[in-house]
Chains A and B, each alone.
Chain A
């Protein structure tokens, strides 16, 4: 028969976890049947679709630290994995020191989704279109997982393995995302192209940041990450190196955008063609770099 999403959710057991060990134990006990969840905005949809069918859902939102946000100038920002996106986006430390995080989360869906959706969940879902992923990459975040051997620190660049597949090992779940203090004088931008003017899934997402750095020939370093144009969100190191060599001109920014476009390996799907995505990587990268460069060169 024709398979369609169900009217309701399938049967499962619900556990509100009290300790991280409890979660790890459950995950190890039921390797294919237990799953942790936070906001649920991705997982419940996938469960209705029949894509996911966990027998046990473990609610980790109430574990100690999961919804904490802490900042200090030395260590940077420490974000509990279950902080909802709205709380994240209005936190004073985020607005002052990591506005790109607020910018990226603001592009997600709708206000009512963001009351529940979490950056942790967005990252763990490991969709190539995740809006917070390219931002985590350019901020060089470190993902902190709790597992059978305690805490494990996974750099963002090592976290995304494939479509829907993260580096979390059996029994591990994300508890925290640590963002080092960004370099002084930095400017960043997240640009996203969807079908609606805002709020759609990313057809293409570009996160770019730049900062003054005397060790770079151009005087600046850039970090650029792309969403929706490869099986995982990706940095573009060759493009970044070229910009570090410099000088930063209209031409070199164009070349950087074109290079980013050539790194992308998008696919055709119901949302957009590979060709359009490829072209739009160049357009969005150029616009993001222009914006960042305008702000950087103002500072100088």
Chain B
């Protein structure tokens, strides 16, 4: 099995890696690059815990090969905050509205929510719910998550 050299930007930092083709973006991030905010929940693209932004759009990292992300820009929950002393407003509102309980789905949810607000700054509740279809949460029942996203959208983002 041939190894492939890849170069990508993760949360604003250029990274280099040599990967076998069967390494997923999820494994690359968590186990090669130490970016553990992205979570492994199912490896089949069903739970959304591994959702990251790839060139600005949310994908399930478990269903992307590392070899495919050569030249790509990846953002995980760790890269959402614009600077170290300044959270993404979504993160702030999630804290205020208890949008997180066990926290395991939260990184993926935040990425999906960030992508939603980027393409639709004032989504209806229906649009919010629709955008979260691929992020399973077993703790919150989704309502607090929706409230946090609505508050972010109303707060001027």
Contacts and interface: CB of A to CB of B under 8 A. Distances in A.
Contacts of B48: 110, 112
Contact of A198 (B43, B64, B133): B133
A109 B134 contact: yes
A19 to B, nearest CB: 19
| Chain B binding surface SS class | mixed
| Chain A binding surface SS class | loop
A227 B2 CA distance: 40
A26 to B, nearest CB: 14
Given A7-B43, A9-B22, A11-B22, A115 B1 contact: no
Interface magnitude class on chain A: 20 to 34
B4 interface: yes
B65 interface: yes
A8 B130 contact: no
Interface in B106-154: 112, 115-116, 130-131, 133-135
Contact of A45 (B21, B44, B67): B44
Contacts of B134: 109-113, 199
Contacts of B135: 110
A111 B58 contact: yes
A41 interface: yes
A8 B27 contact: yes
Contacts of B68: 59
19 contacts: A9-B24, A12-B1, A12-B21, A13-B1, A14-B67, A41-B60, A48-B44, A86-B57, A110-B134, A111-B131, A112-B48, A112-B51, A112-B112, A113-B45, A113-B134, A116-B59, A116-B60, A116-B64, A198-B130
Interface of A: 5, 7-14, 16, 39-41, 44-45, 48, 57, 59, 86, 109-113, 115-116, 196, 198-199
